[in-house]
Amino acid sequence: MASVAVDARNQAARRQRTLRQITTHTILIIGAIVAMFPFLWMVLTSLKTFQEYATQQFFPASPQWVNYATALTMAPFGRYLANTVFISVTTTALVLFTSCLAAYAFARMTFFGREVIFVIFLTTLMIPFEITMIPNFLTIRDLDWIDRYPALIFPFGASVFAIFLLRQFFAQIPSDYYDAAVLDGASHLRFLAAIVLPLSQPALVSVALFTFLGSWNSLLWPLIVTNSPEMRPIQVGLYTFINEASTNTHLLMAASVIAVAPILVLYFFAQKQFIEGISGSGLKG
Amino acid sequence: MQNIELQGARPQVRTTPQRMAGRRRYWRETMLAYLFLAPAAILLFVFSIRPLFYAFYMSLNTWSLRRGPVDFIGLANYQRLFQDDKFWSSLLVTFYYALFTIPVTLGIGLLVAYLLFQGVRGLSVYRTLYFLPFITSLVAASTVWATLFNPQSGFINKTLNALGLPAQKWLQEPNGVFQLAANNFGVRLPEWAAGPSLALVTIMIFVIWQRLGYDVVIYLAGLSNIPKELYEAARIDGADGWQLFRHITVPLLSPTIFFLIVISTIGALQAFTQIITMNQAAAQTKGGPLDTTMTTTIYLFRVFYGEAGPPNYSYATAIAFVLFLIILGLTLLQRWGSSRWVHYS
């Protein structure tokens, strides 16, 4: 008899748990649909004929891959993409180079003025883009870099955020490693290259991913310092294409797919690094 | 000598030759460190530190596009700002934007993160999906949303029609949302109570969609730092779900919430890309219908570009400085207020 009562109670508890699970999943699935719907809509629209879009047919009768070809003839998206890849990769490499060296100095070296210099570096995090934008535009103009690649790369070549993140990481490497390396006659640079960098891969990957992402997605600065279509990165290209495509929404959506697809592929392969990188970014303090 | 090497480079009290050697090493390491810092330091100086001071200098002079500074005018630009209606209305738009998007995103984000954290199956799939909008380019995502909200051919109006609800002008609607709601009852609200324009609210809806995943991921990281034992202990004491949430989750999550508020405020006060892109896609000017979506950053951009009168670099830098001071002030205020409600363990 007692066991029947326990069974009944267990069953009720289980039923309640199942009910809660269902409610939770329902809410989460609705959220996921809202999060995903614009992507679905973008891809579907990019495959419709103008007629199908205008009559608001939800699915295209047959996918119009030709829209992508048409978009590519209306604006040089290939060139935009190549520009963006070049700019993003170079910026990322430059940020990794400058940040690794600086972070190493702050983490592992003893030198005159270390604390003061570090505070100055950190203070620059406070300076908003709006303030530096106009003087930087003048600097770029004086260097005769308007409409040239360096204008899109060098202003973002140093990241205090990356330096800060890497410094935290480098500082955690046991100093025994350094002592041993010195006994073997290694210099700081050797130690950095042979020991510190390989041990810091997760931090380096997250710095690289977010620098790349930021560079790929930026609009305001490239809008200011590029004039000719040949120099536009993809975001500026897409932004100007909004006018060029006019009411041809199906072509505009094809162009949007072109602009986001590389990042979506990258995200697909490195989602863990993206999410862990973000999770670890701001929560130390 | 070996000994000193192992102790690191800080000079130590020793016999004179050793001390000299130590000091030499210290300065040698200092030179090397400066060499390591140089690439980053030069770029930061050229593109961050110098521009900060230069911008202030620019704001104190009239500026010629070709020849640079013309006349020293002191704080005249800042005085002009106080009488500039467009600047004040841009600040109002910016505050509407921040006051709506931040709490809503933080609230929904907390709900989603809390649900996900209850040991839901498929957590990582949900997290991946929710985070996707955040990594997507703002230009592309804004373009897509602007077409969803297209008054003639957009999905949203079509859905509203199917549900028997009235279609809206969305990004082309300059009227305030409270006024639009009051129209249903034939009430005319005073101008100050009309609220943000529907065009601005449309952009805000987009932003909530775009930012939510970021907040969820940060919340999840914060939640995973809360010790499980606390929940178990409280449950043994007979606390129910809401009490656990109210008395354990929220206080222990408060540093995370605080971090998100600070980061979101800074982001909201600098909103730019989504606004010009959505307005471009809705065939509106950069400030939206009747400038009702013109945030301070957009206004700054237009002054710089000469879309609101001739290009005025020095006035634009003055706007940037005031915006910076507002951001700084708000951040300090939040820090000061945080001592009342943020618990650091």
CA distance A19 to A4: 22
pLDDT in tens, B216-236: 999 999 998 888 888 889 888
Which tokens go with A232? 């536009």
pLDDT one-digit tens code per residue, A37-89:
999 999 999 999 999 988 888 899 999 999 999 999 999 999 999 999 999 99
Question: What's the complex ipTM?
Answer: 0.90
pLDDT reported for residue B14: 59
What per-residue string of b and e applies to A245-270 under the rule 16 or more CB within 10 Å gives b?
A: beebbbbbbbbbbbbbeebeebbeeb
Cβ pair B147:A45 closer than 8 A: yes
Region for residue A271 given its phi and psi (left: phi exceeds 0; alpha: psi -120 to 50; beta: otherwise): alpha
Q: Which of A54, A135, A253 sits opposite B144 (nearest CB)?
A: A253
Identify whether the C-beta of residue B145 lies closer than 8 Å to the C-beta of residue B277.
no
**What is the distance between the alpha carbons of residues B150 and A54, in angstroms, rounded to a whole number?**
12
A238 and B327: CB-CB below 8 Å?
Answer: no
Dist. CA A248–CA B214, nearest whole Å: 32
The whole-chain average pLDDT of chain B stands at 90
Q: Where do we find the tokens 């040239």?
A: A148
User: Is-contact A70 A258, C-beta < 8 A?
Assistant: no
Share of chain B above pLDDT 90, in %: 67
- Residue B8 backbone class (left: φ over 0; alpha: ψ -120 to 50; beta: rest): left
pLDDT of residue A10: 83
Tokens of B260: 């998100």
Q: What is the pLDDT of residue B15?
A: 67
Residue A31: which of B37, B39, B130 has the nearest Cβ? B130
**CA nearest A52 in B: which residue?**
B153
- Which candidate from B47, B118, B321 shows the least CB-CB separation from A24? B118
Q: Which residues of A132-146 are buried (b: 16+ CB within 10 A; e: fewer)?
A: bbbbbbbbbeeeebb
Task: Give the span between the Cα atoms of A283 and B253, in whole angstroms.
Answer: 11
Average pLDDT over residues A239-261: 93
Nearest to B146 by CA among B167, B172, B122: B172
Tell me the CA distances in angstroms from B12 to A111, B5, B16, one per residue in order.
14, 11, 10
Q: Name the strand (E) or helix (H) holding B72.
A: strand B68-72
